Structure 1
Amino acid sequence: MPRPVDLAKDQAILEAATELLLTEGPQGCSMEAVARRAGVSRATVYTRYANRQAMLDAVVQACVRDLSGGLDVIPADALGVRGALVELGQRLLAFVHRDAYRRFVRAIAGLQGLSEQDAALLFGLGPRFTVDRLASWMAAADRAGLARFPHPERDAEHLLGMWIGLDIVRAIYGLPPQRDAEATRRHVVEAVDLFLQMHDVRPKI
Protein backbone atom coordinates (compact mmCIF):
# COMPACT_ATOMS: atom_id res chain seq x y z
CA MET A 1 0.00 0.00 0.00
CA PRO A 2 1.56 3.35 -1.03
CA ARG A 3 2.42 5.83 1.72
CA PRO A 4 0.19 8.91 1.86
CA VAL A 5 1.65 12.12 0.44
CA ASP A 6 2.70 14.63 3.09
CA LEU A 7 1.27 17.88 1.72
CA ALA A 8 2.94 19.91 4.47
CA LYS A 9 6.36 18.72 3.30
CA ASP A 10 5.40 19.44 -0.31
CA GLN A 11 4.55 23.01 0.63
CA ALA A 12 7.66 23.45 2.79
CA ILE A 13 9.90 22.27 -0.07
CA LEU A 14 8.23 24.53 -2.63
CA GLU A 15 8.38 27.55 -0.30
CA ALA A 16 12.04 26.89 0.53
CA ALA A 17 12.95 26.57 -3.15
CA THR A 18 11.05 29.77 -3.99
CA GLU A 19 12.76 31.73 -1.21
CA LEU A 20 16.21 30.50 -2.22
CA LEU A 21 15.62 31.24 -5.88
CA LEU A 22 14.49 34.79 -5.18
CA THR A 23 17.11 35.63 -2.57
CA GLU A 24 20.20 33.79 -3.82
CA GLY A 25 19.50 33.26 -7.51
CA PRO A 26 19.34 29.91 -9.29
CA GLN A 27 22.93 29.01 -8.36
CA GLY A 28 21.89 29.00 -4.70
CA CYS A 29 18.86 26.82 -5.30
CA SER A 30 20.37 23.33 -5.04
CA MET A 31 18.54 20.22 -3.89
CA GLU A 32 20.75 20.15 -0.76
CA ALA A 33 20.10 23.81 0.09
CA VAL A 34 16.36 23.39 -0.37
CA ALA A 35 16.34 20.33 1.88
CA ARG A 36 18.15 22.25 4.64
CA ARG A 37 15.83 25.25 4.33
CA ALA A 38 12.70 23.07 4.33
CA GLY A 39 13.91 20.94 7.26
CA VAL A 40 13.68 17.66 5.33
CA SER A 41 16.16 15.14 4.00
CA ARG A 42 17.62 15.43 0.52
CA ALA A 43 16.00 12.08 -0.29
CA THR A 44 12.60 13.63 0.51
CA VAL A 45 13.23 16.43 -1.98
CA TYR A 46 14.17 13.87 -4.63
CA THR A 47 10.90 11.99 -4.07
CA ARG A 48 9.11 15.18 -5.16
CA TYR A 49 11.44 16.33 -7.96
CA ALA A 50 13.64 14.11 -10.09
CA ASN A 51 16.30 16.79 -10.41
CA ARG A 52 17.05 20.48 -9.88
CA GLN A 53 15.62 21.49 -13.25
CA ALA A 54 12.28 19.91 -12.39
CA MET A 55 12.28 21.75 -9.06
CA LEU A 56 13.01 25.14 -10.70
CA ASP A 57 10.28 24.39 -13.22
CA ALA A 58 7.77 23.82 -10.39
CA VAL A 59 8.82 26.99 -8.53
CA VAL A 60 8.55 29.34 -11.51
CA GLN A 61 5.29 27.83 -12.74
CA ALA A 62 3.77 28.17 -9.26
CA CYS A 63 4.72 31.86 -9.21
CA VAL A 64 3.25 32.43 -12.67
CA ARG A 65 0.03 30.58 -11.75
CA ASP A 66 -0.36 32.75 -8.65
CA LEU A 67 0.13 35.91 -10.70
CA SER A 68 -2.15 34.96 -13.57
CA GLY A 69 -4.89 33.04 -11.80
CA GLY A 70 -7.49 35.52 -13.07
CA LEU A 71 -6.81 34.38 -16.63
CA ASP A 72 -8.29 30.94 -16.00
CA VAL A 73 -11.76 32.14 -17.02
CA ILE A 74 -12.88 34.16 -20.02
CA PRO A 75 -15.12 37.01 -18.75
CA ALA A 76 -18.70 37.46 -19.89
CA ASP A 77 -18.36 41.01 -21.21
CA ALA A 78 -15.98 43.87 -21.98
CA LEU A 79 -16.11 45.13 -18.40
CA GLY A 80 -14.92 41.71 -17.29
CA VAL A 81 -12.03 41.92 -19.75
CA ARG A 82 -10.96 45.19 -18.16
CA GLY A 83 -11.29 43.81 -14.63
CA ALA A 84 -9.24 40.70 -15.38
CA LEU A 85 -6.43 42.74 -16.93
CA VAL A 86 -6.38 45.26 -14.06
CA GLU A 87 -6.15 42.41 -11.54
CA LEU A 88 -3.31 40.79 -13.48
CA GLY A 89 -1.41 44.07 -13.75
CA GLN A 90 -1.73 44.79 -10.04
CA ARG A 91 -0.57 41.29 -9.08
CA LEU A 92 2.35 41.48 -11.49
CA LEU A 93 3.62 44.84 -10.25
CA ALA A 94 3.17 43.84 -6.60
CA PHE A 95 5.45 40.89 -7.33
CA VAL A 96 7.98 42.98 -9.29
CA HIS A 97 8.14 45.52 -6.46
CA ARG A 98 9.11 42.93 -3.83
CA ASP A 99 12.58 43.34 -2.31
CA ALA A 100 13.27 39.65 -2.97
CA TYR A 101 12.45 40.09 -6.65
CA ARG A 102 14.88 43.01 -6.93
CA ARG A 103 17.63 40.79 -5.53
CA PHE A 104 16.65 38.03 -7.94
CA VAL A 105 16.73 40.32 -10.98
CA ARG A 106 20.14 41.66 -10.01
CA ALA A 107 21.45 38.10 -9.67
CA ILE A 108 20.07 37.21 -13.10
CA ALA A 109 21.40 40.42 -14.67
CA GLY A 110 24.91 39.71 -13.42
CA LEU A 111 24.87 36.23 -14.99
CA GLN A 112 27.99 35.25 -13.04
CA GLY A 113 27.61 31.61 -12.15
CA LEU A 114 24.38 31.34 -14.14
CA SER A 115 24.56 28.71 -16.83
CA GLU A 116 23.00 29.27 -20.23
CA GLN A 117 20.72 26.33 -19.49
CA ASP A 118 19.46 27.94 -16.28
CA ALA A 119 19.02 31.31 -18.00
CA ALA A 120 17.00 29.72 -20.82
CA LEU A 121 14.93 27.71 -18.35
CA LEU A 122 14.06 30.69 -16.16
CA PHE A 123 13.25 32.90 -19.14
CA GLY A 124 11.08 30.21 -20.71
CA LEU A 125 9.19 29.45 -17.52
CA GLY A 126 8.88 33.07 -16.34
CA PRO A 127 8.62 35.91 -18.90
CA ARG A 128 7.97 33.64 -21.88
CA PHE A 129 5.29 31.62 -20.09
CA THR A 130 3.61 34.80 -18.82
CA VAL A 131 3.42 36.26 -22.34
CA ASP A 132 2.12 32.97 -23.74
CA ARG A 133 -0.53 32.65 -21.01
CA LEU A 134 -1.76 36.22 -21.53
CA ALA A 135 -1.69 35.79 -25.32
CA SER A 136 -3.79 32.63 -25.08
CA TRP A 137 -6.34 34.45 -22.90
CA MET A 138 -6.45 37.37 -25.36
CA ALA A 139 -6.99 35.01 -28.29
CA ALA A 140 -9.92 33.42 -26.45
CA ALA A 141 -11.41 36.84 -25.65
CA ASP A 142 -11.06 37.78 -29.32
CA ARG A 143 -12.82 34.58 -30.44
CA ALA A 144 -15.62 35.31 -27.97
CA GLY A 145 -16.12 38.75 -29.55
CA LEU A 146 -15.22 40.61 -26.36
CA ALA A 147 -12.23 42.47 -27.78
CA ARG A 148 -10.11 42.81 -30.88
CA PHE A 149 -6.75 41.20 -30.31
CA PRO A 150 -5.70 40.28 -33.86
CA HIS A 151 -2.10 39.60 -32.82
CA PRO A 152 -2.39 38.12 -29.29
CA GLU A 153 1.30 37.46 -28.69
CA ARG A 154 2.34 40.93 -29.80
CA ASP A 155 -0.57 42.49 -27.92
CA ALA A 156 0.35 40.62 -24.74
CA GLU A 157 3.95 41.77 -24.98
CA HIS A 158 2.84 45.39 -25.52
CA LEU A 159 0.57 45.40 -22.47
CA LEU A 160 3.21 43.85 -20.23
CA GLY A 161 5.64 46.52 -21.40
CA MET A 162 3.13 49.28 -20.63
CA TRP A 163 2.74 47.95 -17.09
CA ILE A 164 6.35 47.30 -16.22
CA GLY A 165 8.06 50.21 -17.99
CA LEU A 166 11.24 51.12 -16.11
CA ASP A 167 10.41 48.95 -13.09
CA ILE A 168 12.64 46.11 -14.26
CA VAL A 169 15.48 48.54 -15.02
CA ARG A 170 15.14 50.00 -11.53
CA ALA A 171 15.21 46.48 -10.11
CA ILE A 172 18.44 45.70 -12.00
CA TYR A 173 20.03 48.76 -10.41
CA GLY A 174 18.71 47.73 -7.01
CA LEU A 175 16.49 50.80 -6.72
CA PRO A 176 13.12 50.72 -4.93
CA PRO A 177 9.84 51.22 -6.84
CA GLN A 178 9.19 54.78 -7.96
CA ARG A 179 5.45 54.56 -7.28
CA ASP A 180 3.64 53.80 -4.04
CA ALA A 181 0.73 51.35 -3.91
CA GLU A 182 -1.93 53.89 -4.91
CA ALA A 183 0.16 55.33 -7.75
CA THR A 184 0.84 51.78 -8.96
CA ARG A 185 -2.89 51.02 -8.99
CA ARG A 186 -3.56 54.17 -11.05
CA HIS A 187 -0.73 53.29 -13.43
CA VAL A 188 -2.15 49.81 -14.03
CA VAL A 189 -5.69 51.12 -14.61
CA GLU A 190 -4.54 53.88 -16.97
CA ALA A 191 -2.41 51.44 -18.96
CA VAL A 192 -5.29 48.95 -19.27
CA ASP A 193 -7.78 51.64 -20.33
CA LEU A 194 -5.40 53.03 -22.95
CA PHE A 195 -4.60 49.55 -24.21
CA LEU A 196 -8.28 48.60 -24.50
CA GLN A 197 -9.14 51.83 -26.31
CA MET A 198 -6.45 50.91 -28.84
CA HIS A 199 -8.25 47.59 -29.31
CA ASP A 200 -11.82 48.90 -29.64
CA VAL A 201 -12.87 47.90 -26.16
CA ARG A 202 -14.52 50.70 -24.21
CA PRO A 203 -16.51 49.24 -21.32
CA LYS A 204 -18.94 51.61 -19.64
CA ILE A 205 -17.56 52.27 -16.16
Structure 2
Amino acid sequence: MQPAPTPSPALQRRLRVHEAVRELMAEQGFRISMDAVAARAGCSKQTLYSHFGSKQELMRSVMQEHLDMATAQLDDGQGDIRTVLLAFAVEHLQRLSDPHVVTTCQLLSAEAAQFPEEARTLYRDGCDTLQQRLAGWLALAMRRGQLRLDDASWAAELLLGMIVGLDFERQRFAFPHRDTDALRRRWAEYAVDAFLHSFQPLAASGHA
Protein backbone atom coordinates (compact mmCIF):
# COMPACT_ATOMS: atom_id res chain seq x y z
CA MET A 1 0.00 0.00 0.00
CA GLN A 2 1.34 3.39 -0.97
CA PRO A 3 1.77 5.87 1.90
CA ALA A 4 -0.59 8.84 1.86
CA PRO A 5 0.97 11.85 0.13
CA THR A 6 2.26 14.59 2.38
CA PRO A 7 -0.11 17.59 2.32
CA SER A 8 1.28 20.66 0.60
CA PRO A 9 2.37 23.60 2.78
CA ALA A 10 -0.70 25.53 1.61
CA LEU A 11 -3.04 22.70 2.60
CA GLN A 12 -1.30 22.26 5.96
CA ARG A 13 -1.72 25.98 6.64
CA ARG A 14 -5.42 25.84 5.69
CA LEU A 15 -5.95 22.87 8.02
CA ARG A 16 -4.23 24.70 10.89
CA VAL A 17 -6.35 27.79 10.28
CA HIS A 18 -9.58 25.77 10.16
CA GLU A 19 -8.68 23.96 13.37
CA ALA A 20 -7.90 27.30 15.03
CA VAL A 21 -11.30 28.65 14.00
CA ARG A 22 -13.11 25.60 15.40
CA GLU A 23 -11.25 25.83 18.70
CA LEU A 24 -11.82 29.57 19.05
CA MET A 25 -15.51 29.36 18.21
CA ALA A 26 -15.94 26.91 21.09
CA GLU A 27 -14.22 29.47 23.33
CA GLN A 28 -15.36 32.84 21.96
CA GLY A 29 -18.41 32.20 19.79
CA PHE A 30 -19.23 35.00 17.34
CA ARG A 31 -16.63 37.26 18.99
CA ILE A 32 -13.80 35.39 17.26
CA SER A 33 -11.35 37.76 15.53
CA MET A 34 -8.86 37.41 12.70
CA ASP A 35 -6.11 38.41 15.15
CA ALA A 36 -7.02 35.51 17.44
CA VAL A 37 -7.16 33.06 14.53
CA ALA A 38 -3.77 34.17 13.23
CA ALA A 39 -2.19 33.82 16.67
CA ARG A 40 -3.71 30.37 17.25
CA ALA A 41 -2.81 29.11 13.76
CA GLY A 42 0.73 30.51 13.87
CA CYS A 43 0.45 32.79 10.85
CA SER A 44 0.03 36.48 10.17
CA LYS A 45 -3.29 38.29 9.84
CA GLN A 46 -2.14 39.42 6.40
CA THR A 47 -1.83 35.77 5.39
CA LEU A 48 -5.42 35.12 6.47
CA TYR A 49 -6.75 38.05 4.46
CA SER A 50 -4.60 37.05 1.48
CA HIS A 51 -6.05 33.52 1.39
CA PHE A 52 -9.61 34.09 2.62
CA GLY A 53 -10.36 37.74 1.95
CA SER A 54 -12.50 38.35 5.02
CA LYS A 55 -13.63 36.84 8.30
CA GLN A 56 -16.95 35.90 6.69
CA GLU A 57 -15.23 33.98 3.89
CA LEU A 58 -12.95 32.26 6.39
CA MET A 59 -15.98 31.08 8.36
CA ARG A 60 -17.62 29.93 5.12
CA SER A 61 -14.48 27.95 4.23
CA VAL A 62 -14.54 26.17 7.59
CA MET A 63 -18.23 25.37 7.19
CA GLN A 64 -17.65 24.13 3.64
CA GLU A 65 -15.02 21.70 4.89
CA HIS A 66 -17.39 20.48 7.60
CA LEU A 67 -20.21 19.94 5.10
CA ASP A 68 -17.94 18.17 2.63
CA MET A 69 -17.02 15.66 5.32
CA ALA A 70 -20.60 15.39 6.59
CA THR A 71 -21.97 14.59 3.13
CA ALA A 72 -19.07 12.49 1.84
CA GLN A 73 -21.18 9.34 2.15
CA LEU A 74 -23.80 10.86 -0.16
CA ASP A 75 -21.19 11.91 -2.72
CA ASP A 76 -19.61 8.46 -2.75
CA GLY A 77 -22.63 6.88 -4.43
CA GLN A 78 -21.67 3.34 -3.41
CA GLY A 79 -24.11 0.82 -1.95
CA ASP A 80 -27.89 0.65 -1.81
CA ILE A 81 -30.04 3.46 -0.47
CA ARG A 82 -30.23 2.09 3.08
CA THR A 83 -26.46 1.58 3.26
CA VAL A 84 -25.77 5.13 2.09
CA LEU A 85 -28.32 6.79 4.36
CA LEU A 86 -27.21 4.73 7.35
CA ALA A 87 -23.58 5.72 6.80
CA PHE A 88 -24.65 9.36 6.50
CA ALA A 89 -26.75 9.14 9.68
CA VAL A 90 -24.00 7.53 11.75
CA GLU A 91 -21.47 10.12 10.56
CA HIS A 92 -23.90 12.96 11.33
CA LEU A 93 -24.55 11.69 14.86
CA GLN A 94 -20.83 11.22 15.53
CA ARG A 95 -20.10 14.80 14.52
CA LEU A 96 -22.91 16.16 16.67
CA SER A 97 -21.44 14.24 19.61
CA ASP A 98 -18.09 16.01 19.31
CA PRO A 99 -17.65 18.01 22.55
CA HIS A 100 -16.32 20.98 20.54
CA VAL A 101 -19.48 21.00 18.43
CA VAL A 102 -21.77 20.82 21.46
CA THR A 103 -19.90 23.59 23.27
CA THR A 104 -19.80 25.78 20.18
CA CYS A 105 -23.53 25.40 19.55
CA GLN A 106 -24.33 26.23 23.16
CA LEU A 107 -22.28 29.41 22.96
CA LEU A 108 -23.54 30.46 19.52
CA SER A 109 -27.16 29.92 20.56
CA ALA A 110 -26.64 32.15 23.59
CA GLU A 111 -25.09 34.89 21.43
CA ALA A 112 -27.43 34.69 18.41
CA ALA A 113 -29.58 37.62 19.56
CA GLN A 114 -26.48 39.82 19.86
CA PHE A 115 -25.12 38.80 16.45
CA PRO A 116 -28.26 38.21 14.34
CA GLU A 117 -26.66 38.64 10.92
CA GLU A 118 -23.73 36.39 11.74
CA ALA A 119 -26.15 33.81 13.17
CA ARG A 120 -28.32 33.85 10.03
CA THR A 121 -25.26 33.53 7.79
CA LEU A 122 -23.96 30.60 9.82
CA TYR A 123 -27.35 28.90 9.56
CA ARG A 124 -27.52 29.40 5.78
CA ASP A 125 -23.97 28.14 5.25
CA GLY A 126 -24.43 25.21 7.63
CA CYS A 127 -27.86 23.77 8.40
CA ASP A 128 -29.59 25.10 5.30
CA THR A 129 -26.86 23.91 2.95
CA LEU A 130 -26.80 20.48 4.59
CA GLN A 131 -30.54 20.16 4.06
CA GLN A 132 -30.19 21.22 0.42
CA ARG A 133 -27.45 18.68 -0.26
CA LEU A 134 -29.45 15.88 1.32
CA ALA A 135 -32.56 17.02 -0.56
CA GLY A 136 -30.66 16.84 -3.85
CA TRP A 137 -29.60 13.27 -3.12
CA LEU A 138 -33.13 12.25 -2.08
CA ALA A 139 -34.60 13.87 -5.20
CA LEU A 140 -32.29 11.75 -7.34
CA ALA A 141 -33.34 8.62 -5.43
CA MET A 142 -36.98 9.58 -6.04
CA ARG A 143 -36.40 9.96 -9.78
CA ARG A 144 -34.74 6.54 -9.83
CA GLY A 145 -37.79 5.00 -8.19
CA GLN A 146 -35.95 4.14 -4.96
CA LEU A 147 -38.25 6.43 -2.95
CA ARG A 148 -41.78 7.62 -3.61
CA LEU A 149 -42.07 11.00 -5.28
CA ASP A 150 -42.50 13.77 -2.73
CA ASP A 151 -41.11 17.15 -1.71
CA ALA A 152 -37.39 16.36 -1.42
CA SER A 153 -36.64 19.41 0.72
CA TRP A 154 -39.30 18.49 3.28
CA ALA A 155 -38.18 14.87 3.19
CA ALA A 156 -34.60 15.96 3.91
CA GLU A 157 -35.70 18.10 6.86
CA LEU A 158 -37.79 15.22 8.19
CA LEU A 159 -34.92 12.76 7.89
CA LEU A 160 -32.44 15.08 9.60
CA GLY A 161 -34.89 15.55 12.46
CA MET A 162 -35.40 11.80 12.76
CA ILE A 163 -31.65 11.15 12.79
CA VAL A 164 -30.90 13.68 15.52
CA GLY A 165 -34.01 13.10 17.62
CA LEU A 166 -33.62 14.66 21.06
CA ASP A 167 -30.04 13.54 21.58
CA PHE A 168 -28.41 16.85 20.67
CA GLU A 169 -30.70 18.64 23.12
CA ARG A 170 -29.75 16.10 25.79
CA GLN A 171 -26.08 16.96 25.24
CA ARG A 172 -26.75 20.71 25.30
CA PHE A 173 -28.44 20.38 28.69
CA ALA A 174 -25.88 17.90 30.10
CA PHE A 175 -28.47 15.12 30.23
CA PRO A 176 -27.50 11.43 29.67
CA HIS A 177 -27.36 10.77 25.93
CA ARG A 178 -26.26 8.18 23.37
CA ASP A 179 -22.55 8.42 24.05
CA THR A 180 -21.25 5.27 22.33
CA ASP A 181 -20.92 4.23 18.70
CA ALA A 182 -23.20 1.24 19.34
CA LEU A 183 -26.01 3.38 20.76
CA ARG A 184 -25.73 5.95 18.00
CA ARG A 185 -25.76 3.27 15.29
CA ARG A 186 -28.79 1.56 16.82
CA TRP A 187 -30.71 4.86 16.74
CA ALA A 188 -29.47 5.63 13.22
CA GLU A 189 -30.78 2.28 12.00
CA TYR A 190 -34.15 2.91 13.65
CA ALA A 191 -34.46 6.39 12.12
CA VAL A 192 -33.34 5.39 8.62
CA ASP A 193 -35.56 2.30 8.53
CA ALA A 194 -38.57 4.32 9.68
CA PHE A 195 -37.86 6.94 7.01
CA LEU A 196 -37.46 4.36 4.25
CA HIS A 197 -40.67 2.65 5.31
CA SER A 198 -42.54 5.95 5.09
CA PHE A 199 -41.05 6.87 1.71
CA GLN A 200 -41.02 3.47 0.02
CA PRO A 201 -42.21 3.54 -3.61
CA LEU A 202 -45.96 3.19 -3.94
CA ALA A 203 -45.66 -0.08 -5.88
CA ALA A 204 -43.59 -1.60 -3.07
CA SER A 205 -46.10 -0.45 -0.44
CA GLY A 206 -48.94 -2.24 -2.25
CA HIS A 207 -50.69 0.83 -3.70
CA ALA A 208 -51.67 1.09 -7.33
Same fold (TM over 0.5): yes
Is contact 2:90-2:184 (8 Å) kept?
A: yes
Corresponding pairs, count: 195
Instruction: State the Cα distance separating 1:101 from its structure 2 match.
Output: 1.2
Deviation, 1:99, is: 0.9
Residue 55 of structure 2 aligns with which residue? 52
Report the Cα offset of residue 114 of structure 1. Answer: 4.2
Deviation at 1:55, TM superposition (A): 0.6
Residue 135 (structure 1) shift: 0.4
Query: Identity, % of aligned pairs?
Result: 28
RMSD: 2.1
Question: Out of 6, 29, 36, which is 2:10 matched to?
Answer: 6
- C-alpha displacement of 1:176: 5.4
Q: Which residue of 2 aligns with 1:135?
A: 135
Quote the residue 1:165 is aligned against: 165
Partner of 1:63: 66
Q: Secondary structure at the match of 1:25?
A: helix
Give the whole-Å Cα distance in 1 for the aligned partners of 2:194 and 2:125. 28
Residues 176 and 100 (structure 1), Cα distance of their counterparts in 2 relative to 1, 3 Å cut: farther
Contact persistence 1:93–1:184 (CA under 8 A): yes
Structure 1 residues 117 and 139: alpha-carbon distance in aligned structure 2, compared to 1, 3 A threshold? same
Does the CA contact (< 8 Å) of 1:89 and 1:188 recur in 2?
Answer: yes
For 1:152, give the aligned amino acid: A
Paired with 1:14 and 1:26, the residues of 2 have a C-alpha distance of 15
Q: Cα gap change, 1:6/1:136 in structure 2, threshold over 3 Å: closer, same or farther?
A: same
1:184 paired with 2:184, answer yes
* Contact 1:142/1:148, CA 8 A, preserved across alignment: yes
Superposed displacement of residue 24, structure 1: 3.0
Decide whether the 8 Å contact of 2:35 with 2:45 is kept in 1: yes
Supply the distance in 2 between the matched residues of 1:92 and 1:118 (Cα, whole angstroms): 23
Secondary structure of 2:84 counterpart: helix
Deviation at 1:81, TM superposition (A): 0.8
Q: Secondary structure at the match of 2:80?
A: helix
Q: CA deviation at 1:163?
A: 1.0
* Higher mean C-alpha displacement, 108-117 vs 118-127: 108-117
Q: What's the counterpart of residue 89 of structure 2?
A: 89
Conservation of the 8 A alpha-carbon contact between 1:57 and 1:125: yes
